[in-house]
Amino acid sequence: MAQQIIFTTSGYVESEQLKMYLENGVDLLALPPILRVLLSTDGTVTKTLEAYFWEPLDVISEKQFEVQQSELPELAIDLDADSRVLYRQVRLCGRKTQRNYASAKTYVNLTALPGSIAADLEARKIGVGEVIRESGIETFREVLRVGCTSDKLELWRCYRILLKNQPVMQISEYFPLELYQANSAI
């Protein structure tokens, strides 16, 4: 079955069409505008957050390990039987305020990446977006779903990154709703 994607050509999607991609009843119109931007963008979140909160961010690696394919959840990335899959869990933390602006869970098909990019990701040097931007490779992002956690404390989006038309990474980013509601007047 082909993976459905949203926000491909526009940051706006009609409500009826959008319902099939939303989870736990998130109302995009009721959100602070910056959250709508973060949920729909295909740009790098770190740069957007730095510009919005006007603070440098650090990518704090919390977990990182190679995952056996038999232990993987259903993913929207291409994997062969011999694919090496890296799992990363990070936080985007304000360097000055120490605020947690976002967190992310990423699955990466290391086998499908150029060696230097795979090595940078394995070395935990910087975030995925920064690795891609600094390498200069051309990628394409597809937003797959958006929603809020069942406790309504975080909004999230799930997207994948394609390299040469091959889905090689799946990323789920989480944004603490209270922080963005409190700062919506910035």
CA-CA-CA-CA torsion sign (41, 47, 49, 51) = negative
- In this prediction, residue 178 carries a pLDDT of 92
Are the beta carbons of 135 and 127 closer than 8 angstroms?
Answer: no
What topology is assigned to 15-182 in CATH?
Chorismate lyase (3.40.1410)
**3 DSSP 8-state letter:** P
- In this prediction, residue 97 carries a pLDDT of 96
- In this prediction, residue 83 carries a pLDDT of 92
Low-confidence ranges of the chain (pLDDT < 70): 1-25, 124-126, 184-186
- In this prediction, residue 20 carries a pLDDT of 47
Could you tell me the residue ranges of all domains in the chain? Answer: 15-182
- In this prediction, residue 7 carries a pLDDT of 64
Rounded to the nearest angstrom, the gap between the alpha carbon of residue 151 and the centroid of all alpha carbons in its chain is 20
- In this prediction, residue 108 carries a pLDDT of 92
